Amino acid sequence: GELKMAAKVSRWAIDFNEGRRSSHRTRDELPSPPGYVTRLAETEDATESQDSTLLAKQGWNIALGPWKQLPMNLFVLWMAGNSVSIFPIMMVGMMFFRPVQTLLSYRDVFQKLQGDQAIFQKAIFVLANLVGIGLAIYKFNSMGVLPTHQSDWLEFLEPQKSLEISGGGIPLK
């Protein structure tokens, strides 16, 4: 009966009583813990290549972050509509100021971008924020908030001078 049960034990089963049979074992005779691999650790070159790969991957995640926000920003722009009221203006205003603030704090972001691909990552990051600013400006223009028409600047125009004065009619007395 015991022999059949021992044969049915899974290969993943651990016998915790195995090491307790002999009470005077030295440190060298102890079995390795489960999951321990006795081969040497990886070489330094492999670790450096993994580190550079990890840095590049993290850099691209940072650089592509603003691009990943653009679909949500487009949805918010669509939801804002073209009416001029406080909520759409606040939504579009925040969509304008967030990329501006991000570009103004570029030093913090660029410190995280290192490696061979850092210049491309920085360019993609800046371009994505500029696209976000461009979308906000486009939305402000479609709402009619930006002064882009001649009638928006009438305050600064001189009144036209009359070139001719005409009077007519017969004076009635």
Q: What is the pLDDT along the chain (173 residues), one digit of tens a residue?
A: 555 555 566 778 777 776 555 555 555 677 788 888 777 655 555 666 777 788 888 888 888 989 999 999 899 889 888 888 898 899 999 999 999 999 998 888 888 787 788 889 889 999 999 999 999 999 999 988 888 888 788 888 888 888 887 777 777 77
Residue 112 neighbours by CB distance under 10 Å: 14
Question: How many Cβ atoms from other residues are within 10 Å of residue 66's Cβ?
Answer: 22
